[in-house]
Amino acid sequence: MDCPYRDPRTPVEARIKDLLSRMSLKEKVGQMTQIERRVATPEVIRDFSVGSILSAGGSGPRENAVSSEWADMVDGFQRAALESRLGIPIIYGIDAVHGNNSIYGATIFPHNIGLGATRDAELVERIGVATALEVRASGIPYTFAPCVAVLKDPRWGRCYESYSEDTDIVRKMTSIVTGLQGKPPPGHPKGYPYVAGRNNVIACAKHFVGDGGTELGINEGNTMASYEDLERIHMAPYLDCIDQGVSTVMASYSSWNGRRLHTDRFLLTEVLKNNLGFKGFVISDWEALDRLSEPRGSNYRNCVSLAVNAGIDMIMEPFKYQQFADDLLALVESGEVPLARIDDAVERILRVKFVAGLFEHPFSDRSLLGIVGCKLHRELAREAVQKSLVLLKNGKDAEKSFLPLDKNAKRILVAGSHADDLGYQCGGWTATWHGTSGRITIGTTIFDAIKEAAGAETEVVYEQFPSAATLANHSDFSYAIVAVGESAYAESLGDNRELTIPFNGNAVINFLAGKMAMLVILVSGRPLVIEPQIVEKIDALVAAWLPGTEGNGITDVIFGDCDFSGRLPVSWFRKIEQLPLNAEANSYDPLFPRGFGLTYGKEE
């Protein structure tokens, strides 16, 4: 090994210094560039010395591609990178935000809001371990997770990506960073990135900072707060991530008091890097530089200057990589962006690559393929579903509970838009960016799970929107299980001013009310408007959040094989006019308060 940077026995900082000294300015700019896989030809990767490639939501080798096909694709990109002059490996990134959710057959865990309902940091860490293994099996070493936003308004389209409106709960759930990356050894330098080995992935704490606090819950909006409140409420979880050696941080599309986070040097450099001691790299969000001017994409060169000088190290520029590279090269040559700023960015990127072992092990580990969607991981996801469920009502009479249900009942009616829809059960960021309905991957719907759990002599009748004829033909239903909820969505398209139950959910409930006893399961990424008369009419109500692929976790609890333990991670409002609803306010009057959750026989 004639070059120190190629020798794993050489200390990381010495390897960085050696490699940086050998790099041209063009190669440095290439390392700062992250492109989408659809434009990542071998020539582009090699000739630009591209630092990173990502898959957008749903962008893979083909529709429903399995992990081995993903590994083949990523390894192909890596071979092209290693053919560049200096042979610097790429970092391949993906949004594995609730399991390796873009890959067919992977285990899909509950979205973060459901995990926040568990309050179980150890469970979340185990989910991180399992997710890392399934991501690595696909040849990918980097996930854009976790989102550690503190939610302040459920109208926000990324509500389900937050663990809670309570900063302390979010801080507790950052244990997923240790699950993903591994636990740093005693004495590990504070703020220094850490990845334990080939079974772990590079994590990304996002979106720095205040993305969950925007006015009216508008995605990419403006968070109005003093620095003290920003630090206390929204920044605190990042300290926990940094303490665990998180390797990357993603800047937020949103603004703080009108200042775009992607251009805020005070927060990105003075606070995050200097004061908090973060030594990994800061990455931009998707095409974020285009959002820094109006109309979008205009005055692009100035946007590049503002973002890089503010402290963005790697630019997620999926398609305009050529323009980005040309403009940044020109900015350095003109002195508008100091070379020292470029060197700092590249040092940080190389540090993560060396720490993650990509120089020694650039290719996928095919021995991990058998673990994708394995029984152990699905049992873990099932446990997470069990613990995430929140029982909001149990019985019309305070003295008589309705749940648990009798699995040996003569005849059960299953109804509602979400009773037999795996896509809606998983929500956004599943198979595609926004998610969709239907059998999008391998998993168990609520209806599947009910059929599996019901007794041998029990008849289970499913009708999405029950008709009068169905009730006439079956007058002896023991009870109904009605699953209603939201469609799949992500980001701005999930912003919602009304938060009513879609798909005629209330109509289904009203139609069955009074005709038989009824459990309503609400499948959603946030609290929704529940009319008081609806609450009165039904016998039991369960918030199931977005549980993922393991519907058996729901039937385990509603049939009494295990008890409810979940508690609301957010306040459940009575009416939309109450929002934002602050649990610390004097006028706090929710339908169900944060922390509420019944068990069989008593309130937590």
Same domain, 349 and 408: no
- Residue in 256, 253, 252, 251 with CA at minimum distance from that of residue 226: 256
Helix (H) or strand (E) holding 540: strand 540-545
Per-residue pLDDT at 582: 82
| Chosen domain end from 312, 342, 363 | 363
Distances (CA, A) of 409 to 204, 289, 401, 420: 48, 59, 16, 20
Assessment of whether the complete model's pTM goes beyond 0.85: yes
Assess if residue 427 is contained within a domain: yes
Same domain, 451 and 571: yes
Q: Which domain range does residue 584 map to?
A: 376-603
Domains in the chain, number: 2
Interval 306-333 mean pLDDT? 98
We report the CATH number of the domain holding residue 523 as 3.40.50.1700
Assess if residue 525 is contained within a domain: yes
Same domain, 184 and 249: yes
Interval 559-567 mean pLDDT? 98
Same domain, 351 and 393: no
Assess if residue 557 is contained within a domain: yes
Assess if residue 3 is contained within a domain: no
State the pLDDT confidence band at 603, using cuts at 50, 70 and 90.
Answer: very low
Q: Is the pLDDT of residue 18 over 80?
A: yes
Same domain, 572 and 480: yes
285, 313, 383, 495: the catalytic one is 285
**Is there a catalytic annotation at residue 220?**
no
**Is there a catalytic annotation at residue 491?**
yes
Assess if residue 554 is contained within a domain: yes
Interval 581-595 mean pLDDT? 90
Distance CA 51, CA 92 (A): 9
Q: Lowest mean pLDDT: which of 228-242, 412-426, 461-475, 501-515?
A: 461-475
Assess if residue 511 is contained within a domain: yes
State the pLDDT confidence band at 604, using cuts at 50, 70 and 90.
Answer: very low
Same domain, 359 and 384: no
Same domain, 323 and 380: no
| Chosen domain end from 363, 388, 404 | 363
Assess if residue 342 is contained within a domain: yes
Same domain, 298 and 353: yes
Position 502: which residue type? P
* 280 touches 247 (CB < 8 A): yes
- Residue in 304, 230, 217, 318 with CA at minimum distance from that of residue 267: 230
- The whole-chain average pLDDT of the chain stands at 96
Q: Return the beta strands (E) in 395-489 as ranges.
A: 411-415, 459-462, 479-485
Task: Name residues whose C-beta falls within 8 Å of residue 14's C-beta, 6 or more positions apart in sequence.
Answer: 4
27, 134, 317, 491: the catalytic one is 491
Same domain, 383 and 257: no
Distance CA 432, CA 287 (A): 18
Distances (CA, A) of 31 to 207, 265, 303, 451, 456: 22, 21, 19, 53, 61
Residue range 163-186, pLDDT digits in tens: 999 999 999 999 999 999 999 999
Q: Is the pLDDT of residue 1 over 80?
A: no
Same domain, 278 and 424: no
Interval 455-483 mean pLDDT? 92
Q: How far is CA 576 from the centre of its chain?
A: 25
Task: Name residues whose C-beta falls within 8 Å of residue 244's C-beta, 6 or more positions apart in sequence.
Answer: 174, 175, 177, 178, 181, 183, 184, 194
| Chosen domain end from 309, 341, 363 | 363
- Residue in 446, 372, 487 with CA at minimum distance from that of residue 104: 372
Same domain, 95 and 200: yes
**From the DSSP assignment, how many helices (H) and strands (E) are in the chain?**
21, 19
Distance CA 32, CA 325 (A): 9
We report the CATH number of the domain holding residue 293 as 3.20.20.300
Per-residue pLDDT at 142: 98
Question: Would you call 488 exposed, middle or buried from its count of C-beta atoms within 10 A (0-12, 13-18, 19+)?
Answer: buried
State the pLDDT confidence band at 280, using cuts at 50, 70 and 90.
Answer: very high
Residue range 193-237, pLDDT digits in tens: 999 999 999 999 999 999 999 999 999 999 999 999 999 999 999
Assess if residue 470 is contained within a domain: yes
Same domain, 298 and 429: no
